[in-house]
Structure 1
């Protein structure tokens, strides 16, 4: 069965005893690993009792298919529910997991936690876990813009830090490609802020956030967005190669869309009679000072109408890439080139 929203939150804290195995999959590998860890700790606690935890890989199962069921049937020496964690699996392991679920139909003293990558919407392994009554399927997609501010605020609050609204907006715009990387960058920010002040926490300012999260892959995405906005086709070709090696296509398209929304905001103010400098000053988060001149040049190339056309095309590209997952790379490259060509016109 699918585990989403409230059932998911409950399951992460208290895995249901009738669930024999749970598949955690999706393009956000950091989130996949984080949720697998949460589920395991919910059963095992913070200790690493070797009699209650077994770890396998997809290669281990291929080499010895019977081992998966043997590990799931094993009983902990000191009692308690066991966990078997399996990593690096794909649709080729469907038969082994189908056998496991059939074997554990009447309940189990073990929960098998499986970590898979971006196996796709038509995955037979995904369907197996969604349709089985004693299994769970958890999708891990990259953090959406709407969810990121809460994640950022909660992570910093746990470290005793408050954060300015502008700083949250900046971090949300520059993080989110991978949950693990997001948390690592926030931990780096916590270290930068130093130990808590006596009697209360420090407050993260926009300047603090920009000083720490200015050298991520997001800067590479800024270079990509600038190449599109300026109609630099050769530069865009290089940036697409660099970014797609590190970033999911959908995440990249949405990053470009956010950039064009900022251009649209400035273009609307300029169309209303406001000066370009003044219109840019109102952006939150502000344009990074090193990129300000390039942003101005982009604003001079685009008007409200042409930006609207670009945003519409980006929506179409994203929909096409999600429908035809296997061609997402090609569709993204072609679509971004088309938008860059609009800047040249």
Structure 2
């Protein structure tokens, strides 16, 4: 079956129907897919690291061992409770799509352990995907497509996150902040968290428009903004110089990667708005583009299509994680990311 409306999706993720044995959550916004999948999985078993009741597989695992998925779906719980089999797909491969579709169909019919929950996280699955068709056709499975959040959903998410920390924005400030947010859910969450830290968690403060502008004004330094602008414009040397200047001025590599993500989000927003019929200047303004950068951003948006931006987003997310968790040289990670972006841009003619 298909779940499409937000209330029914939220209801299912928090309280999954025990008669449903499988769920396919897919979409271009991989952060949104991962977030929804995590909610569902935690509703099945609170401890996602439980080695007895949880099995996590990737498409590489399945391709390397044909029987591994079947073994996981057949296994019984050793300590009681519902088993969870979670599959994360990193790419699009027809053979894997068909194999998972066949396993899902059999599992939904009770062919494996009927008490196991089978959750699959995937990128955007087209209507010709066998996996998507299998999930949507079965009464014991659900298909959930993750689309870009609407402005109203983003505003609601922001209000709820702020309220949980006992802070808030005025109506004007909320409109301004939501308009500046990237539409990739993981990046969106990061910016909301940064705002909460700026206001002061638990302070009870409501931020007005002027105070919010002060916060937005201290977003990553102009050198980082320029580095991202140059990279997406296909100019590796100026991008590299801007990054090194920013790091010398005390900015962090983490913020450099985040600035690249924000720039990417603006290009995505311009693309989406223009495809919906908005004029170029109107789209740039709605995406939060500084007026002095409008001409260059629109030039870039004409070359960077959504598919290209989605591919770069994978690199941005990988770099963001690496700068915060691996202990590798942060500056080198950020520099390699900008050079990769600039190289892609040059191949597209920028």
Sort the TM-score into its range (normalised by shorter chain).
0.5 to 0.7
Aligned partners of 1:147, 1:211: CA distance in 2, in Å? 25
- 2:272 alignment counterpart: 254
Aligned-residue CA RMSD in angstroms? 4.2
State how 1:267-306 maps to structure 2 within 5 Å: 291-292=290-291
Q: Which residue among 186, 193, 196 is the counterpart of 1:180?
A: 186
Q: Which residue among 165, 169, 182 is the counterpart of 1:163?
A: 169
Aligned partners of 1:19, 1:143: CA distance in 2, in Å? 26
- 2:19 alignment counterpart: 18
Alpha-carbon deviation of 1:51? Answer: 1.2
2:169 matched to 1:152? no
Q: Which residue among 75, 95, 99 is the counterpart of 1:96?
A: 99
State how 1:1-345 maps to structure 2 within 5 Å: 1-5=1-5, 6-45=7-46, 48-88=49-89, 90=92, 91-97=94-100, 98-106=102-110, 108-197=114-203, 200-203=204-207, 205-211=211-217, 213=219, 246=264, 251-255=269-273, 257=278, 260-261=281-282, 291-292=290-291
Q: Which runs of 5+ in 1 are unaligned?
A: 225-234, 264-282, 299-309, 330-345
Q: TM-score, normalised by structure 2?
A: 0.63
Change (3 A) 1:47 1:32: closer
On the 8 A contact 1:148/1:172 being kept in 2, the answer is yes
Alpha-carbon deviation of 1:139? Answer: 0.8
Q: TM-score, normalised by structure 1?
A: 0.64
Alpha-carbon deviation of 1:246? Answer: 4.5
The alignment of Structure 1 onto Structure 2 pairs a total of residues equal to: 270
What SS does the corresponding residue of 2:3 show, helix, strand or coil?
Answer: coil
Over alpha carbons, which structure has the higher Rg?
A: 1
Q: Which runs of 5+ in 2 are unaligned?
A: 237-259, 312-350
What SS does the corresponding residue of 1:115 show, helix, strand or coil?
Answer: strand
Change (3 A) 1:69 1:293: closer
Alpha-carbon deviation of 1:258? Answer: 7.5
Alpha-carbon deviation of 1:94? Answer: 2.7
Change (3 A) 1:121 1:168: farther
Change (3 A) 1:213 1:258: farther
What SS does the corresponding residue of 1:146 show, helix, strand or coil?
Answer: helix
Alpha-carbon deviation of 1:252? Answer: 3.8
Change (3 A) 1:284 1:179: closer
Greater shift, 32-41 or 246-255, is seen at: 246-255
On the 8 A contact 2:16/2:40 being kept in 1, the answer is yes
